[in-house]
């Protein structure tokens, strides 16, 4: 392959990595946005459920008060303790609703942050891969150039027709005869 072809192939691979990186980044951003929207939605649903639960609790306590009042009981002693206990139980249920929803929302937000972190790591990895590809391409281009120069030098030597007198052009022999004949 020619140096120009190697350079074009390297640039095409770099562009492909850039495109892949861009697509992965967009996907991570979309996933992050969806997870954050889901977390916000979960929290808003929990808040609506908490309001509904509070209204139901108020109605329940009013019903119990009315029932006690119809029976001629006063809101003191055991009746009062019963109402307080029911109120506390209902409030703990509301608190549990919010705790579950906020924990889930926080988990989703952290998952969204993790998706972006992973995208950043992949971006770094692709950057290193791109740099390594460029260096390998440069080395390959230099190899092609040196090979071409060697080929040209070999062709020129053949065209001259006369054998060279240097030691390196002689056939290998186990003795130092060639060296002594030239350098003496």
Alpha-carbon distance of 123 to 22, in angstroms, equals 9
Q: How confident is the model at residue 123, as a pLDDT?
A: 81
Residue 4 has pLDDT above 90, yes or no: no
- The reply to whether the predicted model has a pTM over 0.85 is no
* pLDDT at residue 107, as a whole number: 92
The pLDDT of 32-42, averaged and rounded, is 92
Q: Phi and psi of 144, rounded to 5°?
A: -65, -40
The answer to whether the CB of 28 falls within 8 A of the CB of 116 is: yes
Q: What is the H or E stretch that residue 152 is in?
A: helix 78-160
Q: Which residue has the higher pLDDT, 43 or 5?
A: 43
Residues 7, 153: Cα–Cα separation, whole Å: 24
Supply the pLDDT for residue 37: 93
Q: What is the pLDDT of residues 120-154, one digit of tens each?
A: 888 888 877 788 877 877 887 788 778 878 777 77
Q: What is the DSSP letter of 165?
A: -
Give ∠ CA 30-36-42 in degrees, rounded to 5.
135
Task: Please state the domain extents for the chain.
Answer: 3-183
């Amino acid at each position: 392959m020619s140096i120009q072809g190697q350079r074009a192939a390297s640039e095409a691979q770099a562009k492909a990595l850039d495109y892949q990186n861009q697509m992965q980044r967009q996907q991570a951003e979309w996933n992050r946005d969806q997870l954050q929207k889901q977390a916000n939605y979960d929290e808003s649903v929990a808040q609506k459920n908490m309001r509904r639960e509070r209204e139901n609790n108020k109605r329940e306590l009013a019903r119990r008060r009315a029932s006690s009042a119809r029976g001629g009981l006063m809101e003191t002693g055991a009746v009062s303790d019963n109402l307080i206990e029911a109120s506390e139980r209902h409030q703990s249920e509301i608190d549990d609703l919010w705790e579950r929803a906020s924990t889930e929302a926080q988990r989703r937000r952290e998952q969204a942050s993790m998706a972006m972190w992973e995208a950043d790591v992949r971006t770094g990895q692709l950057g290193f891969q791109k740099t390594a590809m460029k260096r390998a391409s440069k080395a390959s281009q230099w190899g092609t150039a040196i090979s071409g120069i060697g080929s040209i030098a070999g062709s020129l030597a053949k065209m001259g027709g006369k054998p060279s007198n240097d030691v390196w052009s002689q056939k290998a022999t186990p003795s130092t005869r060639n060296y002594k004949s030239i350098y003496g």
